[in-house]
Amino acid sequence: MNPSEQHLKRIQDKLRQLLKQHSVLQKENNRLKEDLQNAQQKIAGQQKNVDELRQQVSILKVSTGESDNYRMSEADKKEFEKRINGYLKEIDRCIALLGE
């Protein structure tokens, strides 16, 4: 084999190695993207649970008479009223959809 053929063979070997490495990195990248998406979905679900639990705690505090110890500020009262009104609108919307 002459030197140029040897040089060409080395280049081809290196190209094959790079293509294999690229394939491995693509698979790892896809796996990491899936892991990230799963983690983000899990975080979103946990955040939703936290929000729901906070709402339940505030409702329980008001409904159990802890309002003596837990006085709602005007902003809290408005937020609570806004939340209740939102629930009522959602219930009304569901009833309307059932009636169709």
pLDDT in tens, the chain (100 residues): 788 889 999 999 999 999 999 999 999 999 999 999 999 999 999 999 898 888 888 777 777 665 555 566 778 778 878 888 888 898 888 888 887 6
Fill in the DSSP letter of residue 66.
T
| pTM greater than the 0.75 cutoff | no
Indicate whether 61 and 79 sit together in one domain: no
Q: Which residues contact 62 (CB under 8 A, 6 or more apart)?
A: 70, 72, 80
Indicate whether 94 and 51 sit together in one domain: no
Indicate whether 13 and 38 sit together in one domain: yes
Q: Is the dihedral of CA 14, 15, 20, 24 positive or negative?
A: positive
Cβ atoms of 80 and 58 closer than 8 Å? yes
Into how many domains does the chain fold?
2
Indicate whether 33 and 56 sit together in one domain: yes
Rg of the chain over all Cα atoms, to the nearest angstrom: 30
Q: How far, in Å, CA of 42 to CA of 34, rounded? A: 12
Look at residue 76 and give its three-state secondary structure.
helix
Indicate whether 100 and 54 sit together in one domain: no
Indicate whether 43 and 1 sit together in one domain: yes
Domain of residue 39: give its range.
Answer: 1-69
Look at residue 2 and give its three-state secondary structure.
coil
